[in-house]
Amino acid sequence: MNSSTLRIARRFCGPPDSGNGGYVCGLVAKHMDQPCQVTLHAPPPLDTDLQLVPHEDGLQLKLGEQLLASARPYTFDLDIPPPPSLQEAEQAQQRFDGFRHHNLPGCFVCGPNRAAGDGLRIFTGEVCDHEDQVAALWQPAADLADADGFIASEFLWAALDCPGFFAVKRVSDAALLGRFSAHVEHPVRPGETLIVSAWAISHEGRKHNAGSALYRSNGERVAHAEATWISLKR
């Protein structure tokens, strides 16, 4: 592909002045013609023209000479636990840890300060008897749809992002997304009730690996992802 320009609208922030990690990874991945893993190197600024350029067998997202993100071909094989039920997910979201304290309350995906219809408001809480698994419900809004009438892939990547943090939060209270790869298996229509599930996989020093998945209310999986979270240095 030739170089192209990307802009991350302020609505899609994670931290107040940079893009939500999952959303940014999804935007970059959309320009790859094969499954990929995206690595975030620096916070991508908002409302700014960024350059998406070919690099070796992948892509780089840059601001001038600064590298913000890179994508490379990648296929993952994830061990996915059984999904929680609708009732379990509904009960779990009432235990969302971010209601008591949230490091990024304005996050597009999981920020409790975002109004309905603005943020995704995915509030994953611990699933009973599964301390390393969190879950919630999500109904994607119509304004997230693409030209074909399905939820755009970057929003599915975003929805798979933050739940992974809350799955590893018991071990790492403050962390940022480092690497992310997602696979959308089936298209999702606006207004569908989806079950969001995420679980901790492993912890090694400051690195924490998590998996996440989206399911229809009947338990059919529509997307899944794996993420590496990096604990902030204290």
User: What range defines the domain where residue 224 resides?
Assistant: 86-231
Residues 138 and 195 placed together within one structural domain of the fold:
yes
Q: Is the pLDDT of residue 20 over 80?
A: yes
Whether the per-residue pLDDT at 2 is higher than 80: the answer is: no
Q: Give residue 129's pLDDT.
A: 78
Same domain? 36 vs 94: no
pLDDT tens for each residue of 219-234:
999 999 999 999 988 6
> Which of the listed residues 25, 43, 73 is the one where a domain comes to its end?
73
Residue 174 has a pLDDT of 87
Per-residue pLDDT band for 84 (boundaries 50, 70, 90) equals: very high
Return the higher-pLDDT residue of 130 and 106: 106
3-state secondary structure the chain: CCCEEECCCHHHECCCCEECHHHHHHHHHCCCCCCEEEEECCCCECCCCEEEEEECCEEEEEECCEEEEEEEECCCCCCCCCCCCHHHHHHHHCCCHHHCCCCCCCCCCCCCCCCECCECCCCCEEECCEEEEEEEEECCCHHHECCCCCECHHHHHHHHHHHHHHHHCCCCCCEEEEEEEEEECCCCCCCCCEEEEEEEEEEECCEEEEEEEEEECCCCEEEEEEEEEEECCC
pTM, two decimals, is 0.96
Q: What CATH code is carried by the domain that includes residue 38?
A: 3.10.129.10
pLDDT of residue 128: 87
Say what the pLDDT of residue 1 is.
Answer: 63
Give 48-67 pLDDT, tens digit per residue.
999 999 999 999 999 999 99
Counting the structural domains of the chain, the total is 2
Round the average pLDDT of the chain to a whole number and report it.
96
